[in-house]
Amino acid sequence: MPGFELFGDLERKHVNDVLESGVLMRYGFDGMRNGHWKAVELEKAISERMQVKHTQLVSSGTSALTIALASAGIGAGDEVIMPTFTFVASFESIIALGAVPVLVDIDDTLTLDPEKVEEAITPKTKVVMPVHMCGSMAQLKELKAICEQHDLLLLEDACQAIGGSYDGKPLGSYGDLGCFSFDYVKTITCGEGGAIITNNETYATHADHYSDHGHDHVGKDRGAETHPFLGYNFRISELNAAVGLAQISRLDDFLAIQKKNYTILREALIDIQGVTMRRVPDEGEENYSFLTFFLPDEETARNTHKALGKNGVDGCFYWFDNNWHYVKKWDHLKNKTSLGKLPEEVLNGLPDYHSKDFSQSDYWLGRAVCVLIKLGWTEEETKARATKIKEVVQSVKSITLG
């Protein structure tokens, strides 16, 4: 990760196909295309790789989440359960529809704690949205059982975990709907882009229409298409889709490289006393884009992260202090700060997140250090990096803990 590290001839070929045709829009202009329909081809490729019936390409992972929710009829006042550790896009997509994000604690998987999810359900709850952060997944079997018991939608935010699997199914395909991001720093990239996957024909049709101003896409005359319901412009371009079409064909190669590099780093740390690894559910296999480990306490974790940076180990994250990925720094959400007036359902429905107790999430994320796994490292570079990380971790532990 990320896929841009290995851009090559295949990406250039698909992009040049689009440039030579001159048709950058995914819809229409049939006679000018020279047979190139990159978005359509990419949707078919994603459906095949993810073992689902339907894929809808859109402009970003954020728009994918918004469209997925809208396609299932989620709207004003509906509650969507999501984790305290994610990217801000998760709650942005919910609020965009006038729905209410209900933040719930994480556990040692660094994803939703199923017990806390059950406690958070109210008569207004409509969706449970686990976020498969940093390449690994939530406890989907337990969450699906909760959803079935309470008649809730299970929406997988797999934007950071494409290529991982759970119970033999690709991540994103286990729930009712799944979403991916193909932005510039994802495992496979379109530059900008996203996708919704589902086996539900109704949701797929809704996503297709909603993402293109409500166009029903019936016939070949775009101007004659009808609009069954309101929609917006969340279209992907043919140029972006062209890059993604090359990258999806290389996904398994990327995953193999990530797993090899991940394993070298993990083996260097696994036997250090006081260091434990993030728990991956027994049924799952992560996509190996990040290695995440726990230190004995928050001070040791924070000092380790600082020491790694000072010693030239880039690509390391201490999410607990991050502005974008943890509830602790989401003051704009807590204060309900918006350029325009928020819907009454959001204003009245949002809990007081200033006073909400997320000590369980603090406990786990406060002790976690996360290391990005790059595709471009040589084996020699990866081994040298593993040795350096091990030395830093051991040094900080001995100083901090005595």
Q: Any idea which residues carry the catalytic annotation?
A: 186
**Element of type H or E holding 58:** strand 54-58
The C-alpha atoms of residue 55 and residue 103 are separated, in whole angstroms, by 28
The C-alpha atoms of residue 3 and residue 163 are separated, in whole angstroms, by 13
H-type alpha helices, 121-250: 140-150, 201-210, 238-248
User: Order of strands across the sheet with 368-372?
Assistant: 276-277, 290-294, 368-372, 316-317
Token pair, residue 304, equals: 């380790």
- Give which of 313, 309, 319, 318 is closest to 377, Cα–Cα: 313
The C-alpha atoms of residue 286 and residue 163 are separated, in whole angstroms, by 8
The C-alpha atoms of residue 97 and residue 70 are separated, in whole angstroms, by 7
The C-alpha atoms of residue 324 and residue 359 are separated, in whole angstroms, by 19
- Give which of 285, 253, 47 is closest to 171, Cα–Cα: 285
Residue 216, CA distances (Å) to 24, 237, 382 in order: 21, 18, 50
Task: Let me know: does 188 contact 162? Beta carbons within 8 Å.
Answer: yes
